[in-house]
Amino acid sequence: MVGPVRHGAVTAMRKRALVVGLGIAGMSAAIGLRRAGWTPVIVERAPERRTGGYFVGLFPEGRRAAVDLGIAGDLHTRNPERKAGANTWSLDRRGRRRPALGFLDQPGEPAAVLRGDIETALWQSTTGVEVRFGTTPVAITEGPADVQVLLEHAGTGPQYRESFDLVVGADGMRSSVRRIVFGPHEDYLTTWNAMICAFQLKEQAPSYEAGDSIIIARAKRAVWVFGLADHAPTALLTYRTTDIQDQFSGSRVDRLRSVFSRMDHPVVRHVLDSLEEAPDHLFDSVHQVRMPRWSKGRVVLVGDAAWCMNLYSGMGATSSLRGGAALGVALREHPDDLTAALDAWEAGLRPFITRHQRTARLKQQMFVPSSRRAEALRSVLLGLARRIRGRRQATEAGGPQGRALSGTSR
């Protein structure tokens, strides 16, 4: 017996791959596999597909991967209309708002989406792929010609074995596939002594326009509101702590109210009040996954399971899309040599992953400064960057009239 299944047509004599995880990485890998001539089967621990989700910036590499996967036409982006004044406001310690550079002003001009926007586009392209909900791998054993996987239905507990030509672990930062095949989480998770809480707001903070973004970045704690077009904003609460385990005890809302109690501002109060009404939220410690190799035999990890760069990097969705698309290309180019395919896939992808894992430390300081000194330095650097950006835009647009036009929508 298995969990609820979305069935697809069975194709004889095609290699079969088990994809563990129905998130961005898993569905991207499944689409890539199918394009390479494989038959993917997806198992997902949750009883149904998750929807909604927090703000995501999709960078050029992710947008190109969306084209490669054939989902670009179904991907709904939500960049607010650019204004001559500002879309992003930074609040100083006196509560004064100033125009600021926001997440969407980074090089590459990321597209604003919700995590659910990407997953919906991917889901529409997995029609015909078999998906088993409420199902997890319990054991994975590689033989000379296949991989034997012991699967378990989470609700009723029955177990059954099934044979695959490849197992793809796309089940997140605390991957069950990685734990079973590669070893305990502690061997690969790096600790960043920080926490995040991301969720959707019911409505924008009072006195701000619908598409405005708001940044309140203080030493060791920060509140971010990401404004979107045609959707209520999402919020990110993040703070630094040396006692990670203690953060998971008691009420999360009470803990966050205590952590941010010194940031007594209407925007902060609005965000904290909204958290109590949010239908769901992400609350977790911050880590990166560092592995010397992402595959072992007939088992390969993709997305956060392999290289989690963490939320500060801003590259999670982009790297998951790119990783899944590239896996399909490698398998298509090496149809009869799985080892060569996985070697080529990792060699092509690892420099990109390594570069963004390294820059995530600097980005963490931009999200949540480590000290008052870092807070002041952050303010100076971003102020300088904004002035340089403004002068460049004015020059490119051709003077004062162009300066006004530079705020129009991308």
Q: Are residues 120 and 96 in the same domain?
A: no
Per-residue pLDDT reduced to its tens digit, 364-381: 999 999 999 999 999 999
Q: Are residues 146 and 195 in the same domain?
A: no
Residue 80 sits in which domain range? 72-114+189-287+366-377
Q: Are residues 136 and 272 in the same domain?
A: no
Closest residue by Cα to residue 19 from 305, 228, 297: 305
Q: Are residues 181 and 207 in the same domain?
A: no
pLDDT value at residue 408: 34
Q: Are residues 197 and 252 in the same domain?
A: yes
Q: Cα angle at 198 between 320 and 212, to 5 degrees?
A: 100
* Residue 206 is assigned to a structural domain of this protein: yes
* Residue 258 is assigned to a structural domain of this protein: yes
Q: Are residues 38 and 136 in the same domain?
A: yes
Per-residue pLDDT reduced to its tens digit, 58-109: 999 999 999 999 999 999 999 998 775 568 999 999 989 999 999 999 888 8
**Interhelix angle for 252-259 vs 266-277, to 10°?**
170
Q: Are residues 42 and 171 in the same domain?
A: yes
* Residue 62 is assigned to a structural domain of this protein: no
- Could you tell me the CATH number of the domain that includes residue 203? 3.90.660
Count up the domains in the chain and report the number.
2
pLDDT value at residue 406: 35
* Residue 141 is assigned to a structural domain of this protein: yes
* Residue 126 is assigned to a structural domain of this protein: yes
Confidence of residue 403 (pLDDT cuts 50, 70, 90): very low
Per-residue pLDDT reduced to its tens digit, 208-236: 999 999 999 999 999 999 999 999 999 99
Q: Please state, for a pLDDT cut of 70, what percent of the chain lies above it.
A: 92
* Residue 66 is assigned to a structural domain of this protein: no
Confidence of residue 13 (pLDDT cuts 50, 70, 90): low
Per-residue pLDDT reduced to its tens digit, 289-316: 999 999 999 999 999 999 999 999 999 9
- Mean pLDDT for the chain overall: 91
Closest residue by Cα to residue 290 from 208, 407, 401, 178: 178
Do 255 and 247 meet the contact criterion of CB atoms below 8 Å apart? yes
Q: Are residues 134 and 32 in the same domain?
A: yes
pTM above 0.75, yes or no: yes
Q: Are residues 199 and 341 in the same domain?
A: no
φ, ψ of residue 85 to 5 degrees: the values are: -80, -90
* Residue 125 is assigned to a structural domain of this protein: yes
* β partners of residue 369: none
* Choice between 11 and 352, residue whose per-residue pLDDT is larger: 352
- Could you tell me the CATH number of the domain that includes residue 359? 3.50.50.60
pLDDT value at residue 42: 98
Q: Are residues 120 and 99 in the same domain?
A: no
